[in-house]
Amino acid sequence: MSAAAAEPPVPPVGTRRARGAAGACRPVYDAASLLTVVVAEFNARGYDATSMEDLSLAAGISKSSFYHHVSGKEELLDLALQRALDGLFAILEERASRDGPPVERLHHIVRRQVEVLISELPYVTLLLRLRGNTETERRALARRRAFDATVAALVADAISEGQVRATVEPWLAARLLSGAINSIIDWYRPGRTGAEHLPDEVVRMVSEGILPPA
């Protein structure tokens, strides 16, 4: 369990600006700036439960205005998911993810994955909650699985080289590791004090143990 976040609001969370009010300036968007507002809405209710009407209210523009920027609701999802996945895969390209002993490469990846989850929180949150209902979603899930598989292979390497303790199932270790890291989207909220220590704390706890032994 870890349902830490505030009770998700049912009404739109974005800033509602009076449309057409006397002297009021209407918000003017490009595709990128729209995405910020849209992704917050998707995360508040889930993609499927968020209507174009919800997005319209949150962004302060009419439903039809969205179709000037994107082809439809699904493209908004696609743009957000690409951003999340690009951030994750960039980690694997870093030198410290590719050179050195497996254990150290793995620790680097874990640390950086925590950092990316934090820096790209809304986008990764959307990714991690996908169900695979459309082709767009399934493409994103396939990329996500590829990322997981890369990390899992490295976990297996690190365990086989670092055998000092009782046998550990590499596959299970990779799953629990992912689960622990990804849970960040359920409880981390921007502005936490001490967030700069979080990546190292996570690395330490998954290495030394989360709970005291019996």
Partner DNA sequence: GTCTATAAGGAGATAGAC
Partner DNA sequence: GTCTATCTCCTTATAGAC
Question: Binders of DNA among 15-54, rule CB under 7 A?
Answer: 19-20, 26-30, 50-54
Q: What is the dihedral of CA 149, 158, 206, 4, to 10 degrees?
A: -10
Contact 98, 89 (CB under 8 A): no
Q: Does 171 bind DNA (CB under 7 A)?
A: no
Q: Which one among 68, 98, 131, 189 touches its own copies, defined by CB under 8 A?
A: 131
Nearer Cβ to its own copies (19/192): 192
Residues in the chain, total? 214
Q: What part of residues 26-85 is at the interface with its own copies (CB under 8 A)? A: 44-46, 48-49
**Would you tell me how many other CB atoms lie within 10 Å of the CB of residue 89?**
15
Considering only 66-74, 98-106, 155-163, 197-205, which stretch makes contact with DNA by CB under 7 A? 66-74
- In single-letter form, the type of residue at position 51 comes to S
Q: Least distance to DNA from the beta carbon of 144, Å?
A: 23
95 binds its own copies (CB under 8 A): no
**How many whole angstroms separate alpha carbon 86 and alpha carbon 132?**
19
Q: Cβ distance 34 to 59 under 8 Å? A: yes
CA distance 143 to 39: 19
- Interface positions, 141-170, toward its own copies (CB under 8 A): 141, 144-145, 147-148, 151, 155, 158-159, 161-166, 168-169
Nearest approach, Cβ of residue 41 and its own copies (Å): 12
Q: CB of residue 142 vs DNA: minimum separation in angstroms? A: 22
Q: Hey, what are 89's tokens?
A: 């895969």
